[in-house]
Each structure stands twice: as structure tokens, then as C-alpha cells.
Amino acid sequence: MAEVALIGLGLAGSEFALKLASFGIEVDAFEKQDKFAYLICSNSLRGTSLKTAAGILKAELLALSSPLITTAYECAISKEGALTVDREVFSQKITAMINETPLINVIKKEITSFEELSSYKLIICAAGPLVDGKLAEEIKKLSGGFFHFWDAIAPVVWDYSLDKSKMFFANRHVPHAKDYLNIPLTEEEYFSLVEDLKSAETVELHDHDKNFFEGCLPIEEMAKRGDLTLKYGPLSPKGLVDPKTGKEPFAVVQLRQEDFEQKAWGLVGFQTRLKWGEQKRILRKLPGMEKAEFVRLGVIHRNSYINAPKVLDEKLQIKGTNIAILGQLSGIEGYIEAIATGMLASIFTANSIKKRFLHEEILPPQNTMLRGIYEWLTVPKKKFYPMNVSFALIKAKVKRKNREEFGKSSVNKIKEYAAYLKKLMPT
């Protein structure tokens, strides 16, 4: 029987299971879904440049042979500027990898209480931010309660329903790339869209807490912050030249390629809590989308998270228990950040079982993004809130002009760390 039980095979759980197995340790993974590591929100894993925190973190994870980041690059629609993947192919590959790994025992079952796993030495909870029922109540009791924020998803539209004669292909970072469709907006069309968004009916939030994650605000909330907010945000025309005019439009609505066959396109930055009828009405006013048919419409959901620095110990376990909390439930936000927690927990768990090092000897090096995430979750702070990876998480003060140099140094540190961790591998 495995000594380790895992709840959930999302991004954090899948990374944990696959990486733990690479250390030669068996895990029983409990998951009620058939698809693992499915990307629910967008299909973008954000920037790839070593000038960006997201790009550095992905490079660090690659240096540690991250199963999920490695697979993401194999499923890439685009690797330039941002890493976007075919989410169906990505999930299929990860699901197959997990099902074919002898040391991962997938048990199709929903865990409703930690009591069901009392015989295991370690319990890894990667249940996700939508956890509910008795399990959620147990986590709340152990952690002193949940915090919440509202998160939204953007619509996805079918390719066949678009009039591309009113759009143009362009990627602001990669000349001649065709992974983004762009809808040019005149000044009049832009301000008409803003007014529609500001006045449209929204889904009522049945909760006193109306917090939104600042990194993923509903587009109508952004519109209400100022008439030009969208122009200088997700509808920025910077670097996008309309071939019909030879100029940058006043504003641009971007659609990102969702799959290898270009059957569907996701509206970039259009995460929303507008009612479905309002979404259709407003989006069909956009040039080329008059007859748009939707794969899915935008929705909003409430994410839960714990006060990790107060609750978790140095091994990401709830203090005084054998239960570790991973992924967005821990209070980290974003795909790659969730994957990073899975990587960290796999290292800590392998060492706890094999006892090769003191815990402080296997922490990621200082001034790396991986260490920044670890300390965001474990070092006490006055105010804790969901956080994407950023330069604010590291101790060094890095000037913008020096970010790429810092990124290269950070990745080299992680390469040395990876070599050091080989002592945890099977002999």
C-alpha cells in the first residue's frame, strides 16, 4: 500500500503525482473526473521571455524536469511571447502519462472526508479552489476558515461563425504569426463597446464578499474603472498594425487560437459575469462577430483559499497535521504557480519519506521564482492574498533592464539545485 494519498489530479496534483513517481515513490491518487490537468480558464500559460516572472518560473520548472511544463511545450500552439496550448491534447497527454505510470494508482473516487485517508502517512490535498461539502468544512476547521474571491472565465467562439474579412492575423510579439485574430475598432466602436459593458446586466453575486482577483477582473468591471482602461489594457492596439490601413487601430479585440486545427478562438481579456444573453448581444456587435456561435460563454465562480502563511508549515502542511495543501487552494493564483506547488510538495514529500536531507537543505535557492512562491506561502505577513508569480516575491531588487540577466542567473541556480536533488532519485 502507498504511504501517500493525493486528493485531486488538477495541475498541482498531476505535477505532484508524476514528479513523486519519478523519485520512486508510490502514490494513491483519488480523482472523480476522467480528464486530468484540464485547463479550465484560458489556454495560455503566459509569457515565455526571461524578462518576465512567468517566463523565468517556467524555465526553472523545465530545469527541474517538470512533467507538466515539458508537456505544455510539446502541446504548444505558440511558444513565442506566450505559451499557449491545445488544452484537449494537453489534458489527454497528462491523463495518459498518469494512467501509464506504475507508481501512480488512480482511484476514481471523490474523497469527502480526510477520515477516509487516515491510514496514510501523508495526505496531499490538491482539491482545487471550488472544493465543497464535508471536505471543505474539514479544511475550514483545520485552517481557521476560508477566504474567497470571484474569478471569471472568457467566452470561446467557433471559427466557422466568424467573418475574418473584417479581422486580421497578428501577434504583437511575433511578426507573421497566425495564432491571434484581431478585430480592429474605431474610436466610435470602442466607446460604444465600453458603454455596452458598463450598462449590461450582470449575474448577481450571492455573497457579501465582492472581491475580484485583480489579475483577472471581469471586463465590465475594468470598463467601469475608466473609459480608456480597456484601451490601455486588454484592448491595447500596441504592436498590432491593420494591413488594410497600415496603422494601429484605435483599439483591438484579440482572439487567441484554442486548438491546433483553429476550430475555436478565445476572447482575450473578456472574462465576464455578464448574463449570457447580454454577452451574445454585445459580442455580436463586434466587426466580424455578427453571426458568432459560441463554444462556451463567460461564467463566474467563487474561489476559496486559506491563509497559507498562518496555517501552513515549512513543508506546506497544515500545522500539526500530516495534510499538505497545494494549488490555488493554498492561496497562489495561476496555472504555472499551481504546478510549482506540486513540484515543491513532491520534493518535500520524497525527502520526508527517504530522509536524505534536513528540510532546510532542500529548499529552492534564494532569489529564484520558485523560492519566491514558497516564501509567499510560508513566511508570515500582515496581509495575505492570492498572488501570481512576480518580481515582488523575490528578495533582490531587480531593475527592469536587468531582468533577463537575473532570469538566466535564476535558471542556472535551479539547474544546480536539480543536480543536488538527484540524491532523492531511485538508486
Residue 208: its pLDDT value, please? Answer: 53
Long-range contacts of 412-420 (CB under 8 A, 24+ apart): 413/365, 413/367, 413/368, 414/59, 414/60, 414/63, 414/64, 414/364, 414/365, 414/368, 414/370, 415/63, 416/365, 417/63, 417/64, 417/364, 417/365, 417/368, 418/63, 418/64, 418/65
Q: Are residues 159 and 290 in the same domain?
A: yes
Nearest to 61 by CA among 320, 284, 369, 326: 369
Q: List Cβ neighbours of 424 (8 Å cut-off, separation of 6 or more).
A: 23, 347, 350, 351, 354, 356, 362
Is 194 found in the same domain as 99? no
Task: Tell me how far apart the alpha carbons of residues 372 and 412 are, in angstroms, rounded to a whole number.
Answer: 16
**Can you give the CATH number for the domain in which 384 is found?**
3.50.50.60
Q: Do 139 and 94 reside in the same domain of the chain?
A: yes
Residue 301 pLDDT greater than 70, yes or no: yes
User: Are 379 and 294 part of one and the same domain?
Assistant: no
Rounded to 10°, the helix 187-199/276-283 angle is 170
Q: What number is the average pLDDT over the span 177-194? A: 95
**Quick one: DSSP state of residue 291?**
T
- Residues 95-133: tens digit of each pLDDT: 999 999 999 999 999 999 999 999 999 999 999 888 888
For 277, counting Cβ atoms within 10 Å of its Cβ (0-12 exposed, 13-18 middle, 19+ buried), the class is exposed
Q: 57: domain range?
A: 4-146+306-424
Mean pLDDT, to the nearest integer, of 279-283?
97
Please check whether residues 219 and 356 belong to one and the same domain. no
Q: Which residue is listed with cell 455580436?
A: 284
262/316 same-domain check? no
For residue 242, the cross-strand partners are: 247
**Same domain membership, residue 357 and residue 296:** no
pLDDT score, position 210: 67
Do 119 and 171 lie in one domain? The reply is no
Least confident span in 68-77, 92-101, 280-289, 297-306: 297-306
Give the end of a domain, one of 266, 301, 336.
301
Residues constituting the chain: 427
pLDDT band at 188 (very low <50, low <70, confident <90, very high): very high
The model scores a pTM over 0.85: yes
Residue 146, all three cell numbers: 476560508
3-class secondary structure, 346:
helix
Q: Residues 6 or more apart from 204 whose CB is under 8 A from it?
A: none
329 close to 383: Cβ distance less than 8 angstroms = no
Tally of domains in the chain: 2
- Longest CA–CA span in the chain (Å) reads 68
Same domain for 280 and 191: yes
Read off the CATH number of the domain in which 252 is found.
2.40.30.260
Range list of β-strands (E), 17-86: 27-30, 44-47, 76-78, 82-85
pLDDT in tens, 195-228: 999 999 998 877 656 677 667 789 999 999 999 9
Instruction: Report the Cα 209 to chain-centroid distance in Å.
Output: 23
Characterize 342-380 residue by residue with b for buried, 16 or more Cβ atoms within 10 angstroms of its Cβ, and e for exposed. bbbbbbbbbbbbbeebeeeebbbbeebbbbbbbbbbbee
User: What type of residue sits at position 364?
Assistant: P
Q: Show which of 283, 301, 319 is a domain's final residue.
A: 301
Q: How far apart are CA 16 and CA 346, in angstroms?
A: 5
* 340-399 residue pLDDT tens: 999 999 999 999 999 988 888 999 999 999 999 999 999 998 889 888 999 999 988 889
Give the end of a domain, one of 272, 301, 330: 301
266 and 344: one domain? Answer: no
Same domain, 122 and 25: yes
Based on the domain organization, do 231 and 362 belong to the same domain?
no
Question: Which residue from 324, 349, 340 is spatially nearest to 424, judged by alpha carbons?
Answer: 349
